[in-house]
Structure 1
Amino acid sequence: MDVSSLSASPFLPMVGWSAVLLAVHVMLQAFTMSAEAARTVGASWNPGPRDVDFKPSGKIAGRAARASGNFRETYPAFIALALALALKGDASGWGIGGAWLWFACRIVYIPLYLAGVPYVRSLAWVGSMLGLAAMFAALVS
């Protein structure tokens, strides 16, 4: 395998940007949960040992936690497919198209979930799954 062709793969920057999206999810969840914890169990919860099990009960912190969990359910599949397609090479374009669809839908999903928008949020999730399906189809074809 030619390493230079692997380094030129469009999937590698997608993996990098997906890590940024993961960090956004983690920080959004942390910030909203910390703010809620400060209001309900006290400001000492966040910097302390967190011996008290705190589950967010507010809308935004709860939604941020669920959106983050939902992202992390599909993230390993995205990484596996993206890296496999980088190794294989994607002459069809379906793989990189699917990667971009997954990425765009996962970005759109965040504000839709936080705002509590029904149906459209589900369509964004379906779009992300179609992106993974396109990546898989490109991999096995």
Structure 2
Amino acid sequence: MTPLLNLVIYMTLLTFAAIMLGAVLRNREWTPEGMKAGLSNRDNLPEPTPLGGRAERAAANTREGFLLFVPLALVAHAAGAGEEVLLGAQIFFWARIVYLPVYLVGITYVRSLIWGVGVFGLALMLLALL
């Protein structure tokens, strides 16, 4: 498997982890009430804690990034694109790794800067394909 396809797998795992963490923290699933909410249809969820809300938003942002990353990576792989795409993918992936805990902790300006670094990685990928 190529390094680019490895990054697709790693991004898939990171996205899944972000989704699960968002649900667990949002619903406080370590409590009996939270476990009940997590196993329910989620029609009447209580308001999330600040941490739970950040975790849920970070998971949504990770899903959005995943939707942009995967098509670029797969097209690049199919086209046999070079090192520029791989560099962009690596920048994007590592920015996402740093982004999640920074968002959870609530460091606002740094979080936005890290998000921008990830977008820069996506832009490198796109420019290498055009």
Name the larger-Rg structure.
1
Rounded to whole Å, the distance in 1 between the matches of 2:21 and 2:86 is 27
1:16 corresponds to: 9
Matched, 1:119 2:109: yes
After superposition, the C-alpha distances for 1:5-48 in whole angstroms (9 at most, x for unaligned) are xxx43211111111110111011111102217958x66532333
- Higher-helix-fraction structure: 2
Aligned length in residues: 130
Equivalent position amino acid for 1:48 in 2: S
1:137 aligned to which of 108, 112, 127? 127
1:109, 1:121 within 8 Å by CA — same for their partners in 2?
yes
Q: Which runs of 5+ in 2 are unaligned?
A: none
Q: How far 1:117 sits from its partner (Å)? A: 0.6
* TM-score normalized with structure 1 length: 0.83
Tell me: CA distance 1:48–1:70, structure 2 relative to 1, closer, same or farther (3 Å): closer
Which consecutive segments of 4 or more residues in structure 1 shift more than 4 A? 36-39
1:37, 1:45 within 8 Å by CA — same for their partners in 2?
no
Matched, 1:51 2:65: no
Equivalent position amino acid for 1:70 in 2: N
Rounded to whole Å, the distance in 2 between the matches of 1:17 and 1:73 is 16
Q: Which moved more, 1:76-85 or 1:65-74?
A: 65-74
Tell me: CA distance 1:127–1:56, structure 2 relative to 1, closer, same or farther (3 Å): farther
Query: What percent of counterpart residues are identical?
Result: 36
2:58 aligned to which of 67, 73, 91? 67
Q: Which runs of 5+ in 1 are unaligned?
A: 1-7
